[in-house]
Amino acid sequence: MLEKFVRERVNTKGIAVMGHIVCGYPSFEANMEILEEMDKAGVDLVEMQFPFSEPIADGPLFLTANQASLDKGTKIADCFNIMKEASKRFSFKTLMMGYYNTVFKAGEVNFCERLKASGACGLIVPDLPLEEDAGLVQAAEVNNLSLIRLVAPTNTGERIQQILEHASGFVYAVARKGVTGSKTKFAEGMEEYFQTIKKYASVPVAVGFGISQRADLDYLKEQGRADIAVMGTAILKTYLESGREGLASFFKNIMG
């Protein structure tokens, strides 16, 4: 289902866009404002991050956002609730993004059942390696969810091939070493990385970490380097600095 949806959007638009929110930060009311602007702008997918105390793949802004949300008392049930509301109200598809301890504590089967009931079409768990995800894969498949695999520039070609043999929905390609938030420069060496991914990928390819301007989308769209551009930090930073009006302008400039 997810793969078909992405391919349809790519055929129509050339490249799909995935946004990101941290549930409960700055507030759930603010989350809904951001989601409303995403929907108006034509964002195709949104990863809704369930806050966690040690989000190891996230940069400074999302580290702050995760902790602040937890400090306010955000619970997993609150995250499922806003996901359910967003799935009903908006045209984009929703995915859960978070860390494995959250899933483990709830129980893989229970967690996936709740995701399905909340309208999600997949989940992204960056700290769960391929060798240890069989149980979650099974729980996801039973509930018609895609467990999104990640690849990184530090992976060998052999490892990328191994990960992509198990990919479903789409694959999330990290655009650089490190954590989210810093501006990505598509430097020498990236072409080989993208070509390796495309060589082995049977599903659409999403690229994220540091995507923040129209030139980034144009670069990824050229020669079919990616099917999905992922934006997270740039969206939250813009909203915090200039509210929903600024966010509307941001989306117009980058997607218009």
160 pLDDT above the threshold of 70: yes
Q: Where are the beta strands (DSSP E) in the chain?
A: 16-22, 45-49, 93-97, 122-124, 146-151, 171-174, 205-208, 228-230
pLDDT at residue 190, as a whole number: 79
Are the CB atoms for 82 and 88 separated by under 8 Å? no
Mean pLDDT of 38-49: 98
In this structure, the number of other CB atoms found within 10 A of the CB of residue 182 comes to 14
When the pLDDT of each residue in the chain is averaged and rounded to a whole number, the result is 92
Q: Is domain 2-255 in CATH 1.10.287.370, yes or no?
A: no
Per annotation, catalytic residue among 3, 47, 216, 227: 47
SS3 content of the chain, % helix, strand, coil (to 5): 50, 15, 35
Measured distance CA(163)–CA(157) in Å, rounded: 10
Q: What is the pLDDT of residue 210?
A: 78
**What's the confidence (pLDDT) of residue 181?**
40
Q: What number is the average pLDDT over the span 201-206?
A: 96
Catalytic residue list contains 47: yes
**Residue 220 predicted with pLDDT over 60:** yes
**Structure-block tokens of residue 65:** 């956002």
- Give the span between the Cα atoms of 37 and 226, in whole angstroms: 24
Whether the per-residue pLDDT at 128 is higher than 70: the answer is yes
Looking at residue 141, its pLDDT comes to 97
Q: Which two tokens stand for residue 122?
A: 């997949």
Q: Is 58 a catalytic residue?
A: yes
Confidence band (pLDDT; 50, 70, 90) for 185? Answer: low
Q: Give the span between the Cα atoms of 25 and 66, in whole angstroms.
A: 7
- Active-site hit among 3, 37, 44, 58: 58
Residue 177 has pLDDT above 70, yes or no: no
